[in-house]
Structure 1
Amino acid sequence: MRSVKSLLAAGAATLLSTAAFAADMAIAPPPYAPPVVEEFGGWYLRGDIGFSNQRVDRLNNVLDRNNTSSVQTNNFNSAGIFGLGVGYKVNNWFRADVTGEYRGNSSFFGTDRITYVGGVGTDTYHATKNEWVVLANAYVDLGTWWCITPFIGAGVGGARVAINGFTDQGIASNPVQPGPALAGLAFGDNVAKWNFAWAAHAGLAYRVTPNFTVELAYRYLDMGDGLTGDLRTFDGTNNVNNPMTFKHLTSHDLKLGVRWDLSTPPVYAPPPLVTKG
């Protein structure tokens, strides 16, 4: 009987010591699932390069009212685009930025076949043009697939349009009274003027790293009118208030851009191991 009591006492002591040892062991935490990292806002810098494909509706002069018809052909060479900007990403679908850019010199060549009372004439135009453009832009990101995000946007601001080195070489003849054709050359002083400008954007953005994105974008840009000084002949003759106006300058631009995200995404660490004792 005593041996049975001794055996029970030894078993109870063993159970108590096992329970105490288990209490001193570390309590395993529940399985850890990292939280979903959502997109968040932040400041970014951007840079852009590209080239332009420019258009002008027509060239106008106050003396054109004396013409009965005018058929023009006007062309600009492509020019480089160089821009910088700063912006803010509000959330994962909306962002906005302010950009400033220089649009390099583009050579202009135009012809104008004019019919007027008593004769016909042909004018040949040459000039160069460049701009400074400042825009406030807003964009909507349309979702992301395989790190590629299509977007659309719009911008408003101002364009400083500079027309330089304008020349007008004209040849006129009178078919009613045959004789030698008359030739003339006129010049317009350099003029730069600020206009209201607006733009429409569309493109694709590729997120290379969490803080670095590359963009390929198309932009339609409306820059208003360009202007020369009053036209004067080679001998200095000047018809006052007769500048040449480049009516409705527009451009179809292709740009390659980069964005640097200045914010740092949050870093989530797993919870510490909880121990007791």
Structure 2
Amino acid sequence: MYARLKLFAGVAVVSLAATAAQAADYTPLPCYDAAVIASGRAPPGAVPCYTPPPVVVEEFSGWYLRGDIGITNQSVRDLNNALPVTSVTNVGLGFDASPLFGVGVGYYFNDWLRFDLTGEYRSKANFHGSQIVTSGGSTYTDEYSGSKSEWLFLLNAYVDLGTWNNITPFVGAGAGASRNTIHSFQDVCTTVSVCTGGSVAFGDTSSKWNFAWALHAGLAYKVSKNFTVELAYRYVDLGDAQSGDLYTYNGINAVYNPMEFKHLTSHDVKLGLRFNLDSFEMFSRPAPVYYAPAPVYTQPPPVYVQPPLQSRG
């Protein structure tokens, strides 16, 4: 009896060892693409392959708001008037610096191209200068004063040139319209021999719309995902402007002759802030959560080992 029990124990140990060895050598069943299984081209009982969850990549596209403040440095090429003259020499025509304030809305098309639509108020810049005028055989000097302001609206496109340590250089161009206003224009003739007792002419406030265009260059610093600060230079062509009709100190005016400001330009320095509106979307919806599918486990078939035959003796 003891010998028979010992034999059965040996058979059991051999069976377990064989099963363990076969389990170690077990090759998982082949998996199939879910589309293949859905089309019915996979064999019966086919197991779909595990597909890892998609990687969420941060997109640079999206809407943003912007605000700007800056300083203007403006100039005018020439002053014209309807009154006939033989020759005119400009002396020191120019404007004082003035502040500008702007807002806008833009869109990041991708990580290197963006657009925005801006509107800004360019506050009053004092005007000063004079002209030496020859007319009718006489030469005299006119001294001018007044101020100018604008509303400027531009559609701009920018190219971001790459980012290093959160600093992005950029260039851009824009086109739009400018409403140029001349305020309180005054013309003083200072040559007593021509302007007996001196002479003063005035022009009322007048506004004029013009085509405008601009070129941009600057550096942007990305403070956070949704907040960027930029320092930029801009050259802007504002078109022309004109004063109201000129009249003398005693209200006399024999001809319509406003003073025309030809080819106004400005070199601007701006400090801007950009706020990405994607931050609102980030806080208004829960972050996506991905769960890996449960692993498919197939029990290997049992291995049966025939015990050796023995006699009953």
Quickly name the TM-score band, shorter chain normalised: 0.7 to 0.9
Is 2:67 the counterpart of 1:52? no
Q: Given that residues 161 and 226 in structure 1 are in contact (C-alpha distance below 8 angstroms), is that contact kept between their aligned partners in structure 2?
A: yes
Q: Given that residues 112 and 124 in structure 1 are in contact (C-alpha distance below 8 angstroms), is that contact kept between their aligned partners in structure 2?
A: yes
Q: Given that residues 122 and 149 in structure 2 are in contact (C-alpha distance below 8 angstroms), is that contact kept between their aligned partners in structure 1?
A: yes
Aligned to 1:196: 211
Which residue among 95, 100, 120 is the counterpart of 1:101?
120
Percent identity over paired residues: 49
Q: Given that residues 203 and 258 in structure 2 are in contact (C-alpha distance below 8 angstroms), is that contact kept between their aligned partners in structure 1?
A: yes
Q: Deviations over 1:17-40 (max 9, x none)?
A: 997xxxxxxxxxx9x999473544
Is 2:276 the counterpart of 1:261? yes
User: Deviation at 1:58?
Assistant: 1.4
What is the one-letter code of the residue matched to 1:209? S
Which residue among 203, 208, 212 is the counterpart of 2:223?
208
**Secondary structure at the residue paired with 1:243?**
coil
CA distance in 2, matches of 1:10, 1:68: 121
Change (3 A) 1:107 1:118: same
Please list every run of 5 or more consecutive structure 1 residues that lacks an aligned counterpart in the other structure.
20-29
RMSD: 2.9
Which structure shows the bigger proportion of residues in strand conformation? 1
User: Deviation at 1:69?
Assistant: 3.7
Q: Given that residues 118 and 174 in structure 1 are in contact (C-alpha distance below 8 angstroms), is that contact kept between their aligned partners in structure 2?
A: no
**Secondary structure at the residue paired with 2:12?**
helix
CA distance in 1, matches of 2:249, 2:256: 17
Change (3 A) 1:84 1:135: same
User: Deviation at 1:172?
Assistant: 2.3
Change (3 A) 1:229 1:62: same
Task: Give the 5 Å matches for 1:124-135.
Answer: 124-135=143-154
CA distance in 2, matches of 1:50, 1:211: 22
Q: Given that residues 110 and 126 in structure 1 are in contact (C-alpha distance below 8 angstroms), is that contact kept between their aligned partners in structure 2?
A: yes
Aligned residues: 262
Please list every run of 5 or more consecutive structure 2 residues that lacks an aligned counterpart in the other structure.
24-49, 298-313
The alignment's TM-score, normalised by the length of structure 2, stands at 0.75
CA distance in 1, matches of 2:11, 2:229: 77
CA distance in 1, matches of 2:54, 2:230: 31
CA distance in 2, matches of 1:170, 1:72: 14
CA distance in 1, matches of 2:18, 2:207: 96
CA radius of gyration, larger in: 2
Q: Given that residues 136 and 155 in structure 1 are in contact (C-alpha distance below 8 angstroms), is that contact kept between their aligned partners in structure 2?
A: yes
User: Deviation at 1:11?
Assistant: 6.0
